[in-house]
Amino acid sequence: MSAFDLFLQLIHCLISVLLFVIKRKDTAVIRKRIIFV
């Protein structure tokens, strides 16, 4: 695999994680946990 392919995979991963977080309704709870930690 070329570096460009790896870069595209990384972007795809980040977008998937972002969409997953946005879909979740309890993002506020996660933020509170981060603040408490």
Q: How confident is the model over 1-37, as pLDDT tens digits?
A: 799 999 999 999 999 988 887 777 666 777 777 776 6
Helix, strand, or coil (residue 5) = helix
* Single pTM value for the model: 0.52
Alpha carbons 26 and 23: distance in angstroms, whole number: 9
Query: Looking at residue 6, what is its pLDDT?
Result: 94
Alpha carbons 21 and 25: distance in angstroms, whole number: 8
Query: Looking at residue 22, what is its pLDDT?
Result: 75
Query: Looking at residue 18, what is its pLDDT?
Result: 85
Burial of 7 (0-12, 13-18, 19+ CB in 10 A): exposed
Query: Looking at residue 20, what is its pLDDT?
Result: 84
Alpha carbons 30 and 28: distance in angstroms, whole number: 5
